[in-house]
Structure 1
């Protein structure tokens, strides 16, 4: 089928022209994506999008052919794939930036908390460090710090956390700790 026959069929809404284009140019068009770090599925999607764009332009009467249909489809596929690669690149760099920011942010929060814990006094410092950083049980903490029982250790931990919260709030803005 020649290009002018294909365009005539498309202008009449004859989808056999679309099937013909799909079968004839599938390998050539998908090779663009496959040879540029794309998968078979991505290649198929890009070619289908290109055919849709071509079909819509041809049916609407806005298609001005200055080259062969194969060249036109090739340029659409190439542009579609470039857009997809740009999108992937942006997403990748945004994810990396976000991860770096989160790591820095978490390190800063940990530093602030440890600094404030250090200013609470020896008992609170030990109790909170044992519980949150060393992962000790309240029973072990009660024994180590020579509290009367586990309930005493829990009450003391609660009071230490309240003091820590007040200390942090007095030194830093709330936004410093919101995610």
Structure 2
């Protein structure tokens, strides 16, 4: 059974075909999933290449419109996953906009566009992005497994940027050298937790 948009109701994860069908009919569910699943990779790419979040939103919207127009004209040919196709379109649109901005001088700083030909392939870009996401997830999980007081100690130093003296006072260590020793032990434990899982993954 499908709703009026041609998308199965109460489906948490739509397939590529269902997303495309939903985009063609303006399905709110399909649009929501398209943004939730694929916008973050475009945001990362644009922000890593002289853009802002608003730039990324504009580029992603333009890419979806491009896909919609191709669907309407019956000219959409997917030779890869929808994720790869959208990323490729957004990448091309943003590099084109960077070139235009460089020519019109709208950047307040220098942008070297001579290396655009040397950008990694779309597939390689996506693999790198997904690998970074996975590493972040594993590090978060490793911090949770680390337990206290190591977790708070490392977060105080690396995230909250507390000094070793502040950490010494907070945790009641005898002196800053003892606090440094404990931080080192905690860091080694965290690395063991992280790499025990990361290296084991295919």
- TM class by shorter chain equals 0.3 to 0.5
TM-score, normalised via structure 1 length: 0.48
Which structure's relative contact order is higher, taking Cα pairs within 8 Å and 6+ residues apart? 1
Instruction: Indicate the structure (1 or 2) with the bigger Cα radius of gyration.
Output: 1
